[in-house]
Amino acid sequence: MFCFIVLLLLIGAAFYFYQKLMAIETEIRAERSLETAPCSVAQEPDSASGEVSKADVFETKINPLETVPVEEVLAPVETAIIAAVTDQAGIKQTELYSLFADQSKKQLQQTIKDMTARGLLRREKQGSSYLLYIA
């Protein structure tokens, strides 16, 4: 009995740390995508040598909201949803589920709700479903 309890505690701890590591990984990927965004600040060469110094390059700060294109911020599924809604304005949310058979219905629902909250999509209630439009 004691071994069973210890085993359950170990499995619970492993699951907890796995979730934490996955959260850290997504944060790191988000930071890397912001770091690799092109810098929109033009560097002027040093008047004496005609070159940009390393200190000037490393001190350049970018505003991620201004320099990162929308396509890089959106997940591939979100980009595909926007493309589908653009092609068929007013598409029913239930029809969208059949277009994305590889995604679960719950994941698509949550993604669409998140996109609506961020102002990318507009949903209009119609019966038991929603009509989707680009915001």
63-72 pLDDT per residue, tens: 555 554 554 4
Q: What is the 3-state secondary structure (H, E, C) of the chain?
A: CHHHHHHHHHHHHHHHHHHHHHHHHHHHHHHHHHHCCCCCCCCCCCCCCCCCCHHHHHHCCCCHHHHCCHHHHCCHHHHHHHHHHHHCCCEEHHHHHHHCCCCCHHHHHHHHHHHHHCCCEEEEEECCEEEEEEC
18-62 pLDDT per residue, tens: 999 998 988 888 888 776 655 544 445 444 555 555 455 444 455
pLDDT grade for 13, boundaries at 50, 70 and 90: very high
What is the domain partition of the chain in residue ranges? 1-36, 38-67, 74-135
How much is the pLDDT for 30?
A: 80
- Answer whether residue 114 shows pLDDT above 70: yes
Query: Which residue would you say has higher pLDDT here, 124 or 52?
Result: 124
How much is the pLDDT for 33?
A: 75
Would you say the pTM of this structure is higher than 0.75?
A: no
How much is the pLDDT for 66?
A: 54
Question: Which CATH number among 3.10.20.600, 1.10.10.10, 3.40.50.720, 3.20.20.150 corresponds to the domain 74-135?
Answer: 1.10.10.10
